[in-house]
Amino acid sequence: MDNSPENQGLEFRAVAKAFDGNRVLDNLNLTIGKGEFFVILGPSGCGKTTLLRLIAGLEAVDGGEIFLNGRPIHAMEAGDRGVAMVFQDYALYPHMTVAENLAFGLRNMGVPPVEIAVRIQETARSLAIDSFLDKKPGKLSGGQQQRVALGRALVKKPDILLMDEPLSSLDPALRLKTRRELATLGRSLLATVVMVTHDQVEAMTLASRIMVMHDHRIQQIGTPLELFSRPANLFVAQFVGATPMNVLMGDVVAGEGGRAIFRLPEGDIHTVIRTDTLPQSTDWRLGLRAEHVELTTPKTPHIPATVDFVERLGEQSWVHVRLADGSELVATEAGVSLHQPGDRVGVKLDGGRAHLFDADGRAWHPEPA
């Protein structure tokens, strides 16, 4: 990464934050490149919104420093940081028209009226809200209000755009449409975008990189593909993905060529992970994505299972099955599955795609192809 000030993006150096003596963030070090669409993903209460508010200046750091494009901003007033924020509930002024909502912040910044008018027209056209500039927010749909909230932030031409769960209040169809619009917008923006969400589909769709947080700690930072295919630990493996990664308990022994064999009561799963790379551990778990679990007939020499229920999603189905010991697995089938609850099936696990997790939850992967 270019380390010249104009290309440094956003940087956290040993940032700490506590509420009532309880640490929310501790010694956080993080760099977000200029122009990235960076998504902070995690369950409620993990510290992701606090992190966003520290960038915006809505909360003060208890320790450490925050830099934006080479400038220290942690001690600046919120209005001087070059930051714009889109809130979960839009926070539009109901008594103002769309145009007045867009102009409000610019007037406070002292932008000349002629430039305000130009910026409003440019921003409104880019977000397709120019046809209702004279309407008030109460006359708009949820998706339209969301675009107005985005416009109010973008019209300021911020160095960084912050979004806090921007799609959570939309219905599923509108969420999909707005997600597409955000993806297009993210590619066209010159500003850095940092978005907080607990929805892994939003993160996987929009982000150039994702930071997964849990229990106030960074679990992993990487591209969507990296998080999906090579999760750092068991939490990431089960949090990222349309369905959680399947996990089975068992023992690991050395097999032919030093490859690890995962031993189950129903049979052995031959992985391609070398045992000499593994730590000494007990309580091993094997992880497989649903697409690497194949359903076969009950007469095949595969693991016997019973179908619990089926999610038919059109172009694919998720079939939930239960093994004899009570373990649960999800398998993906193309198209509309014909399986019904109670069906007896066989389960074939693709050991070449398997991941191993030690007693501490750390992941051990097959070597990249």
Over residues 288-297, the pLDDT tens digits come to: 999 999 999 9
Over residues 301-325, the pLDDT tens digits come to: 889 999 999 999 989 999 999 999 8
Q: In sequence order, which residues have a C-beta less than 8 Å from that of residue 202 and are 6 or more positions away?
A: 39, 167, 179, 195
Per-residue pLDDT band at 57 (split at 50, 70, 90): very high
Per-residue pLDDT band at 166 (split at 50, 70, 90): confident
Q: What is the pLDDT of residue 5?
A: 45
Residue 36 identity (one-letter amino acid): E
Length of the chain: 369
Per-residue pLDDT band at 74 (split at 50, 70, 90): very high
Per-residue pLDDT band at 1 (split at 50, 70, 90): very low
Are the C-beta atoms of 357 and 284 separated by less than 8 Å? Answer: yes
Q: In sequence order, which residues have a C-beta less than 8 Å from that of residue 365 and are 6 or more positions away?
A: 230, 273, 355
Radius of gyration of the chain (CA): 24
**Domains (range + CATH), the chain:** 5-239 (3.40.50.300), 246-364 (2.40.50.140)
* DSSP character string of 218-271: EEEEE-HHHHHHS-SBHHHHHHSSSSPPEEEEEEEEE-GGGEEEEEETTEEEEE
Are the C-beta atoms of 287 and 356 separated by less than 8 Å? Answer: yes
Over residues 112-144, the pLDDT tens digits come to: 999 999 999 988 888 888 999 999 999 998 778
Q: Return the half-sphere exposure (C-beta side, CA atoms, 13 A cut-off) of residue 72.
A: 7
pLDDT cut 90: percent of the chain above it: 59
Per mean pLDDT, which range of 16-20, 162-166, 221-225, 358-362 is the poorest?
162-166
Structure tokens at 200: 């892994």
Per-residue pLDDT band at 190 (split at 50, 70, 90): low
Q: What is the pLDDT of residue 337?
A: 93
Higher pLDDT, 145 or 187: 145
Over residues 331-355, the pLDDT tens digits come to: 999 999 999 999 999 999 999 999 9
Q: What is the pLDDT of residue 3?
A: 46
Over residues 33-52, the pLDDT tens digits come to: 988 999 999 998 888 989 99
Per-residue pLDDT band at 284 (split at 50, 70, 90): very high
Structure tokens at 243: 């369905």
SS3 100: helix
> From edge to edge, which strands make up the β-sheet containing 284-288?
267-274, 259-264, 246-254, 284-288, 355-357, 363-364
pLDDT above 50: residue 53:
yes
Q: What is the pTM of this model?
A: 0.86
- Dihedral Cα 105, 107, 110, 116, nearest 10 deg: 100
H or E element that contains 26: strand 22-32
Per-residue pLDDT band at 186 (split at 50, 70, 90): low
Over residues 7-20, the pLDDT tens digits come to: 578 999 999 999 98
pLDDT cut 70: percent of the chain above it: 96
Average pLDDT over residues 79-98: 87
Are the C-beta atoms of 202 and 179 separated by less than 8 Å? Answer: yes
The DSSP bridge pattern shows strands 259-264 and 267-274 to be antiparallel
Tell how far CA 255 is from the center of its chain.
37
Tell how far CA 57 is from the center of its chain.
23
Phi and psi (nearest 5°) for 259? -85, 145
pLDDT above 60: residue 369:
no
> From edge to edge, which strands make up the β-sheet containing 328-334?
293-296, 344-349, 303-312, 316-323, 328-334
Q: Which residue has the tokens 């956003």?
A: 10
pLDDT above 70: residue 4:
no
pLDDT above 80: residue 2:
no
Q: What is the pLDDT of residue 7?
A: 55
